[in-house]
Structure 1
């Protein structure tokens, strides 16, 4: 097990305005591979510190950036939830690719893995369409690809008719308030049902209630409380933010974009079966079948019983860490032949 050095820096965003906050967890020993993480909606890359240190101690360089409108990439608290780019979905994914190239320049010749969680999994799925093949950095290990393995965590999908309804409501709100408006209606449409399946466990003034409105995130109350208490995780998306989310979902669900994903990349889907983002495992299994049919024969799916959205912050996280590590180790063994 290696000691881990945590390094933070800022690099220019593809939008030409913001500076991306980037964290690299570097093993102080043999570097065996790179894992780049694309974080989720209304959070930041530093929340992956425990998981990153776990893998870095085993020889993985783990890195990621705060997306536009998130974490320390946002210029100030007022910019949280606002993605400052005309096509923000494209810009966020281009930012991920900028980080990839900087990592591949710094750590030459080692296998490269990509992991995305929640909204970050949507961005990572777009990345696989747009940059899964980068002719400047082809993988020496995976034919026709620049990525040696893809982990899709806490992901989901949305029917096209639902996207169209969401876009219609969004455009109506934008016409009245502008793209920087933080809409309670959009927030209810996006998250309103997520806590519905959570049991009531707390007594307040003689009434049994749900402990928090974020309990759908994890069964671990300490992790939920840490999330609720973090001001960088408790802002509301602007209408521009929801537009970015809808545009990304539409893009990654189009057949022509799925067809652009390199065909030889091993894929791992990871989710809790009580995660509302993946419709309690149903969407995840459908995506597993889709990717097995359209993308790669080397596709695995780990669904964790009774676990909620943030699988890396769940009560079963030690097992999840170990399972992901084993999947990565198997892939590295395949690469070495």
Structure 2
């Protein structure tokens, strides 16, 4: 089923955010605020929104800057901003959160993020945790360390040679393309996303998916992930916050689930007492589009039910 609403929300950053809303079936119990991944868009979460709406959740999901139908003077497709991209992305998320607080006063908000959206959600959490009832950090990798610094070095070289606002030539080869080639007997270079051939085909056919991000966007995506990799960044986050850290065993983007386990272990060592984590066997990057998505979505719903009690 389509979303209940699609509308434009003006952010204080100057972006016109393309927002989808799904009404809950009956009186809503909570809001799930979804953050999508790199080189995709909010409309791809319609099935998940339908699933959650049937269980009493209201869903808000917007296209991030440089993605989908969101428009901003400094953010064409593939670029967050001319400067301060991460800060503007987080400010946009906060603008949607403000809207939720106005339209659904008093309802708890569960923050959800997939892949790049996991970095966005985590960075939002690091700055605004009092506003969030619980957080689901899916399919991210915050343990890049030296590799992340190497990526920034490559991108600095590309920026010097090519400029910031052109597609990176090297990062797609080191990420999307390398991950696709790593899948045994792959049919396409996007098979790393899912074992479901139909879902991969839909992604490839979607003109708003799979494009090459600019040098500046890659720099900012890597920087957000590296920020989430610093224990000091978590200083202001309350340690009893319910958090679910989820990944896939066959997801090259999260180092085959090792990134999931690393983040969960770090947070437990930092004293997070209400954290659950799971790496799903045989599961690739897009959990919500995988062949075992019904199991994964039901597990999310059970966790969300638990944190609302």
TM-score range, shorter chain: over 0.9
8 A contact 1:5–1:28 mirrored in 2: no
- CA spacing shift, 1:310–1:75, aligned 2, 3 Å: same
Larger of the two Rg values belongs to structure: 1
Q: Does structure 1 residue 298 correspond to structure 2 residue 283?
A: no
4+ residue segments displaced more than 4 Å: none
Q: Show the counterpart of 1:216.
A: 192
Match of 1:282 among 244, 252, 258: 258
Q: Show the counterpart of 1:184.
A: 169
Taking structure 2 as the reference length, the TM-score comes to: 0.95
Deviations 1:219-252 (A, max 9, x none): 0000000001000003110111111112212222
Q: 1: distance between equivalents of 2:230 and 2:24?
A: 39
- CA spacing shift, 1:8–1:41, aligned 2, 3 Å: same
Match of 1:20 among 1, 17, 20: 17
Q: 1: distance between equivalents of 2:258 and 2:285?
A: 14
Cα distance, 1:293 vs structure 2: 2.0
Q: Any residues of structure 2 matched to 1:1-337 within 5 Å, and which? A: 6-16=4-14, 18-74=15-71, 79-133=76-130, 146-200=131-185, 210-333=186-309
Deviations 1:150-208 (A, max 9, x none): 111111124332222211211111112211111221211233421233121xxxxxxxx
Q: 1: distance between equivalents of 2:76 and 2:246?
A: 31
Q: Which moved more, 1:155-164 or 1:109-118?
A: 155-164
Q: 2: distance between equivalents of 1:55 and 1:236?
A: 31
Q: Show the counterpart of 1:142.
A: none
Question: What SS class does the counterpart of residue 176 from structure 1 fall into?
Answer: helix
- CA spacing shift, 1:130–1:295, aligned 2, 3 Å: farther
Question: What SS class does the counterpart of residue 208 from structure 2 fall into?
Answer: helix
Q: 1: distance between equivalents of 2:236 and 2:2?
A: 36
Count of residues paired in the alignment:
308
Taking structure 1 as the reference length, the TM-score comes to: 0.87
Question: What SS class does the counterpart of residue 190 from structure 2 fall into?
Answer: coil
Unaligned segments of structure 2, at least 5 residues: none
Q: 2: distance between equivalents of 1:171 and 1:198?
A: 29
Question: What SS class does the counterpart of residue 299 from structure 2 fall into?
Answer: helix
Instruction: Give me the CA root mean square deviation.
Output: 1.8
Unaligned segments of structure 1, at least 5 residues: 134-145, 201-209
Cα distance, 1:5 vs structure 2: 5.9
Cα distance, 1:15 vs structure 2: 2.7
